[in-house]
Structure 1
Amino acid sequence: MPQIALLSQETIDKIAAGEVIERPSSVVKELVENAIDAGSSAVTVEIKEGGVSFIRISDNGCGIEREQIPLAFLRHSTSKIKSVEDLFTVTSLGFRGEALSSIAAVSQVELITKTNGDFTGSRYLIEGSKEVSLEEIGAPDGTTFIIRNLFYNTPARKKFLKSAQTEGTYIHELMQRMILSHPDVAFKFIMNNQVKLQSSGNGNIKDIIYHLYGRDITKALLPIAHESELFKVSGFIGKPMISRGNRGYELYFVNGRFIRSQILSKAIEDAFKPFLMQHQYPFTVLYFEIDSSLLDVNVHPTKMELRFSNQQELYREVQSILSAALVHRDIIPEVPVDTPKKNEMEVPKIEKVMPEPFEQKRLEEIRKAVRKDSPYEIKYPVSRPMGTGSVSSAEKLLTTIKSMQPEQTPEADIKNQPEQPEEQILTQPEGIRKEPLPEQSKKETEKELAKEAYVLREEETYGAKPEGSYEQGSFLKEEEMAKQKIIGQLFDTYWLVEYNDRLFIVDQHAAHEKVMYEKLKKQFEKKEFTSQAISPPIVITLSMREAEVLERFKEQFTKLGFEIEHFGGAEYSICGVPGNLYRLNTRDVLIDMLDELTDGISERATTDVILDKIASMSCKAAVKGSQRLSLPEMEQLMKDLMKLDNPYNCPHGRPTIIAMSKYEIEKKFKRIV
């Protein structure tokens, strides 16, 4: 028989480290959270080879006092909480006291730190949980961690890491979430000596979304702001046309912490369900503020999971808020007629980068150089490192300016220039005619440089109408029907309607399906349910969990019109079904309801399943594509569509109407060049 033995401290540390530190991104997450908890306003993260060989994280936080440094690397030592009661009111990102000890157990760690009250800093080395040295050193206020050779003493764990590029991508995604979760902190992320991400820390969430996800997404955002006794939420949700095929863009933060929650995900997805097709997920950036006493954050070592004490109320309120925000918007997707085909070559997008901290000073130097009209070449530093994206318009402009200068570079001028890294110096292109710039051109050049220096211009983000959508509530108002001109039917499926300066295309099947769905749904919601007896009864076999759910919600099933009796053992007999659902497959409807209720998230699951079945019924009964309608029938369909709260999508999320602008059509015919 195997003998019970106490594990060595080294083995214990490595087992504990395996729970917290899974890959390089885990190290970055823990140390960046520590930096934020330390009150930092600026955090820089630098990695090499996916973070396996090198990670450096610097902040300007409060630092660590010299005598407390060794203590910080002991397991379960923390300054965040003092007692078990503090777990129920914790507001910091970290609190378990496991991060530093876990990192030190599987890597070589160098710590440089200094508090505001000390004259000198401290340098501490620890490798594989073994202290190497602690010495006095000159250092700025704040803390810098340098992690080398991650998993050097646990080759089995290192073997399961992915490629350096993949591990770097994990850290890149993590830093995106960190930037979003704390918009008031200035972050900088450097990978293999190239700046990949940078935020200004000005607190403007829309600016951050623009730089992380681009203009198209930023222009298709809807603001969310709501406060109740239960929670406060703010942020943005994306319009249905920017949905994605996975949940990677479904982001939400609770008390500044990025989490994954089945409750919140279901509330968000159920709100978007009428607007999205199957297997499509919304874009969201939502910030929840919830009383910490109503949360349990001590669920998992990674702190990515939370438990809510009032999950049903939370689900209902979040789903209601987002549904209202979507329903009260009149959105018709606008499709440009000259969209390139997938197999056509597309112009690569220019990667946008936040301006460097000393951008203004750089611009001033450039302006002086332009005014100087010097016969010599001057080498200018570029505002971004090479490799972070295509050359910006400002950089091209600078190249052109310098190419117009004579080639000669006096030795004296070179000495006066500050040294720059080789990759950051714009060299003069050959073969371009060199002529002095006219005075007027210089002035225009200065203006252009000032504009190009900041890639995010306010009017681009906030002023223009979102691309890819057409918002005009008047089109689907009954009083506007007189202004609409039905041109005809296309392919016996689509109706063409002219209104103002737009051509609207209506899918007759999707539109009729939506009208029928809303009609059946209204009847279902208003009607007093009656039970329709069935003979012979349908006998079904349920698992223990399904039977438990059925007994728990038996009263609700009875109100809906179901008559269900225990038949013995695991079998139940269905003797009656709701009268208005008599044509449906009773067995499937009941099983689907039980499956939805099993997760314990939404008590509305019974109604939701029935509505899904109604959607299928309306789809089958609706007028089909390639079925010709008369003009009066189409006019009546348009009238019925206009009476709906959400006429823009069929029950399965497909659009009922799309729009094309007169401008786009004229551009296609070369009337506009």
Structure 2
Amino acid sequence: MPDTHEIRVLPPGLKNQIAAGEVVERPSSVVKELVENSLDAGATRVDVTVEQGGRGLIVVQDNGRGIAAAQLELAVTRHATSKLRTFEDLSAIASFGFRGEALPSIASVSRFTMISREQGAADAAFIEVRGGEVAGRRIAALAAGTRVEVRELFANTPARLKFLKAESTENKRCQDTLMRIALAHPGCGFSLTVNGREVFRLPADQDLATRLRTFWPPSACEGLGPFDFERLGYRAHGVAGSPAMAQSRGDRILLYVNGRPVQDKLMLGAVRQAYKGMLLSREYPQAVLFLELPRDEVDVNVHPAKLEVRFIEESRVFSTIRGGIVQALAVLTDQGRGYLGPDSGPDSDQRDRRDVSGAYRQDDRPDYGHRSPSGPVGHDAPSFRENGQKFPSYREYAAFASRPVPMDLGPGRGGLAGADPDHAPGYSSEPDPGLDPARFNVTDAARPAPLAGTDYVYLGQVADTYLVLRRGQSLVLVDQHAAHERVLLAAMRRERTRGDSQPLALPLEMDLHPSEAETLDGLRDGLRAMGFILETREAGESGASAAHRLLVRGIPPTLDTGRAREYLADALAARARTLDDLWTMMSCKTAIKAGQPLAVDEALALLDVWLRTPEREYCPHGRPVVVSWNPQELEKLFKRK
């Protein structure tokens, strides 16, 4: 065991590898550092090549100013940089790289070569670094700029290799990194080639909207509104999406400070605040936000990878960003695209209840975790699992999947197809002996109906959306759409992994954006388990105009072809990641909607199955399914106490 009491200076190679642990987390970190060096060198064209997820090879070539042959060795020396001269420079950093650590750190954990030709020089110069030590130098050929090749990344640090993900995941991270940089620099052209296939090629001088269409599917780009807002010397500009196009993931919220991609909770909080009252707690909008402010009022030297920043005037940052997003939402409303999008999204039923201004009506405002004083119904309801009663079968759940409802079963009879209203699940045709119809002044058609085996009594439907019940002395309201969503999701979790499918005589054909094709690759197994039989084909040329053709040869039995197409489009646009995400979307797509009238037997059947469903208090999106008031709480509402 070495003597730990003696203080020693670390050898250069070890110092570089420690620095690499901070700067070079994975292959995408290498892409970021090298491309940012190219931009600092004034490049107007940057071409990136990645092989084997970046472990095998990363190449970044640009047409920038280049490096003088005499300074190549300094370029791979720690803390040697052309971007800082004085302490004052550090307090107002204008370049992306400035630490002088990126190249030596990368070179210490790879086989590293660099060719560079300084503007006006007759020849280019070549340098090779292995294990942090210069292994060779010579004259080389290069038209202009700099070309860096990184091979066998982390080969000399195998402990780092085991933390890398699958090749496809690392390739995607490299692509996302270059995308974020490209969006902030529309004046520069970029290309990415992965394993010999060109993923995209972006010409210089593109506007933001055009460049975004390369990376985001049309459904995400169509609902974007521009904004450009300035306040007290701070400027926020970019594009923000309609709440109607919100998704279940936050990976399409891209934040920049003075052109630098960042991850910042303050900025994200300002974006979310601008959408307050328009999104559910688990919904995220699309937004590309550029914040510009004086360089001496932001510290970009907080994190070795320069992903985090610190602001002097946090309140000004917050209000500027919020003002910009609100401006974009106003633009969307004026254009009529605001919050009245198609019934296709993570919770389309909730969006149906927004008015034209984009705000929820007062009685429909989403709940962000607040509950009525008595809490959701069911906390003290009998547990069917504990009482030995099984949960509903899939056949009971599936009965609700057909739309529209109610279905006419004949004169004077409404309800589910094939159901007997006198024998619907949980329905008792006999009136409660303790109920006096005359007392409630109701007709036979609207007689209070008890749910068999429970102490709940169904009283009716309000606004064709809420089911009204009495439980003892308490008043209970159930959101029919949210309750049905929970019922369907439980059914899918129990029985929807068998892959039952309905073959199609003629396959559905769908053209996919490249980003949608990538999402499909990750969802294929989950979609197959749900009953989709899919086949993909390449079509068109590579690059921004690449087209992929999806053939749908089988669909789940509970969907017709039109709704199957709509569901697939939603799943790919929302970039669902797991089978449970797909089930959640399917439950929303097939559930009874708000505003649909239900016959008594339909309501009773739904309530009966819902009461036997696990996690019934909240819908899959986190909204409350039920609220209730006991007599004391009702007295407070009416100020009787």
Deviations 1:409-449 (A, max 9, x none): xxxxxxxxxxxxxxxxxxxxxxxxxxxxxxxxxxxxxxxxx
Question: C-alpha displacement at 1:335, in angstroms?
Answer: 3.4
Shift of 1:316: 2.4
Partner letter of residue 335 of structure 1? Answer: P
Q: Give the aligned partner of residue 350 of structure 1.
A: 512
Distance between the aligned counterparts of 2:132 and 2:262, measured in 1? 30
Separation of aligned partners in 2, 1:180 and 1:620: 49
Q: Cα 1:334–1:256, aligned 2, differ >3 Å: closer, same or farther? A: closer
Contact kept? 1:32, 1:57, Cα under 8 Å: yes
Letter paired with 1:5: I
1:166 corresponds to 2:153: no
Q: Which residue of 2 aligns with 1:376?
A: none
What is the Cα deviation at residue 210 of structure 1? 1.3
Aligned partners of 1:209, 1:150: CA distance in 2, in Å?
31
Q: Which AA in structure 1 matches 2:340?
A: P
One of 212, 216, 220 as aligned partner of 1:213:
216
Match of 1:333 in 2: 340
| Cα distance in 1, alignment partners of residues 103 and 163 from structure 2 | 22
Deviation at 1:2, TM superposition (A): 3.2
State how 1:492-531 maps to structure 2 within 5 Å: none
1:5 maps to which residue?
Answer: 7
2:173 is the counterpart of 1:15: no
Matched, 1:69 2:175: no
Q: 1:70 and 1:295, CA in 2 relative to 1: closer, same or farther beyond 3 A?
A: same
Q: Is the 8 A contact 1:50 1:165 kept in 2?
A: yes
Q: Distance in 1 between matches of 2:156 and 2:182?
A: 32
Alignment pair present for 1:491 and 2:597: yes
Change (3 A) 1:161 1:116: same
Q: Distance in 2 between matches of 1:144 and 1:298?
A: 27
SS class of match (1:248): coil
Q: Helix, strand or coil: the match of 1:218?
A: helix
Sort the Cα spacing of 1:164 and 1:334 in 2 relative to 1 into closer, same or farther, 3 A. Answer: closer
Q: Answer yes or no: is 1:256 the counterpart of 2:259.
A: yes
Q: Which has the higher helix share?
A: 1
Q: Note the residue ranges of structure 2 that are not aligned, 5 or more in a row.
A: 349-400, 403-491, 493-500, 516-539, 551-572, 575-593, 600-622, 630-641
Provide Cα deviations, 1:565-598, integer angstroms capped at 9, x if missing partner: xxxxxxxxxxxxxxxxxxxxxxxxxxxxxxxxxx
- Give the distance between the partners of 1:247 and 1:33, measured in 2 at CA: 25
Give the drift of 1:321.
3.5
CA distance in 1, matches of 2:545, 2:326: 42
C-alpha separation between the residues in 1 aligned to 2:120 and 2:79? Answer: 26
C-alpha distance in 2 between matches for 1:327 and 1:62: 44
Per the TM alignment, residue 292 of structure 1 is displaced from its structure 2 partner at its CA by 0.3
The 1:391/1:318 distance shift into structure 2, 3 A limit, reads: closer
Distance 1:620 1:35 in 2: 62
Amino acid at match of 2:66: G
CA contact (8 A) 1:194 1:386 kept: no
* Residue 233 (structure 1) aligns with: 236
- TM-score norm. by structure 1 comes to 0.52
Pairwise CA distance, 1:352: 5.5
Give CA deviations for 1:153-202 in whole Å, capped at 9, x if unaligned: 11111122112111111101111111111111100000000011221122
- 1:54-101 deviations in whole A, cap 9, x for unaligned? 111100000000000000111011111112211111111111110001
Q: 1:114 corresponds to which letter in structure 2?
A: R
Give the 3 Å change call, closer, same or farther, for CA 258–385 of structure 1 in structure 2: closer
AA paired with 2:597? Answer: F
CA change 1:385–1:209 in 2 (3 A) is closer
SS across alignment from 2:548: coil
Give the direction of change, closer, same or farther, for the CA distance of 1:84–1:236 in structure 2 (3 Å limit): same
Q: Is the 8 A contact 2:81 2:100 kept in 1?
A: yes
Partner of 1:666: none
1:390 and 2:538 are equivalent in the alignment:
no
Per the alignment, residue 270 of structure 1 pairs with 273
User: For the residues of structure 1 that align with 2:128 and 2:151, how far apart are their CA atoms?
Assistant: 11
Residue 390 of structure 1 aligns to a residue whose secondary structure is strand
SS in 1 for 2:115: strand
Query: Partners in 1 of 2:263 and 2:80 — Cα distance?
Result: 27
Number of the residue aligned with 2:133: 130
CA distance in 2, matches of 1:334, 1:147: 46
**Aligned runs of 1:473-484 on 2, under 5 Å?**
none
Residues 295-353 of structure 1 show CA distances to partners (whole Å, capped at 9, x for unaligned) of: 0011011000010000022212322332354257263424369x999988864433359
Judged with a 3 Å threshold, the aligned counterparts in structure 2 of structure 1 residues 234 and 159 are, in CA distance, closer, same or farther, namely same
Q: CA deviation at 1:385?
A: 7.9
Aligned to 1:610: none
> Using a 3 Å threshold, how does the CA distance of structure 1 residues 383 and 389 change in structure 2: closer, same or farther?
closer
Contact 1:230 1:314 in 2 (8 A): no
* 2:17 alignment partner AA: K
Quote the residue 1:184 is aligned against. 187
CA distance in 1, matches of 2:178, 2:134: 30
Q: 1:49 aligns with which of 47, 52, 59?
A: 52
Give the CA deviation at 1:129: 0.9
Tell me if structure 2 keeps the 8 A contact 1:110–1:126: yes
Q: Which amino acid aligns with 2:548?
A: S
SS of residue in 2 equivalent to 1:152: coil
Backbone CA RMSD of aligned residues: 3.3
Could you give the per-residue CA deviations for residues 216-272 of structure 1, whole angstroms, max 9, x where no partner exists? 122101110112223112110000122121221111211110001111100001111
What is the deviation of 1:14?
1.0
1:115 aligns with 2:118: yes
Give unmatched runs, 5+ long, in structure 1: 354-381, 393-466, 469-487, 494-614, 622-673
Name 1:152's counterpart in structure 2: 155
The residue correspondences of 1:411-450 to structure 2 (distance < 5 A) are none
In structure 1, how many angstroms separate the alpha carbons of the residues matched to 2:121 and 2:627? Answer: 73
Q: Deviation digits for residues 22-71 of structure 1, max 9, x if unmatched?
A: 11111111000000000000000001100101111100000000000000
Are the structure 2 counterparts of residues 71 and 63 from structure 1 closer, same or farther at C-alpha, using a change threshold of 3 Å?
Answer: same
CA–CA distance in 1 between the matches of 2:549 and 2:246? 30
CA distance in 1, matches of 2:227, 2:18: 43
SS of 2:16's partner is: helix
Partner of 1:122, secondary structure, is: strand
* 1:18–1:348 distance in 2 versus 1, CA, 3 Å: farther
Cα 1:233–1:317 change in 2 (3 A) is closer
How do residues 534-573 of structure 1 correspond to structure 2 at under 5 angstroms?
Answer: none
What secondary structure, in the 3-state scheme, does the structure 2 residue paired with 1:131 have?
strand
Distance (whole Å) between structure 2 residues aligned to residue 283 and residue 209 of structure 1: 11
Q: Map Cα deviations across residues 354-385 of structure 1 (whole Å, 9 max, x no partner).
A: xxxxxxxxxxxxxxxxxxxxxxxxxxxx8538
Tell which deviates more after alignment, 56-65 or 224-233.
Answer: 224-233
Structure 2 contact 236–291 (Cα < 8 Å) conserved:
yes
Cα deviations by residue, 1:431-488 (Å, 9 ceiling, x for unpaired): xxxxxxxxxxxxxxxxxxxxxxxxxxxxxxxxxxxx99xxxxxxxxxxxxxxxxxxx9
Amino acid at match of 2:109: V
Partner of 1:142: 145
The Cα of 1:137 is off from its aligned counterpart by: 1.7
Q: Give 2:166's aligned amino acid.
A: S
- The answer as to whether partners of 2:227 and 2:327 remain within 8 angstroms in 1 is no
- C-alpha separation between the residues in 2 aligned to 1:270 and 1:619? 26
The CA deviation at 1:130 is 1.1
**8 Å CA contact retained: 1:250, 1:283:** yes
Helix, strand or coil at the partner of 1:247: coil
Indicate the SS of the match to 1:28. Answer: helix
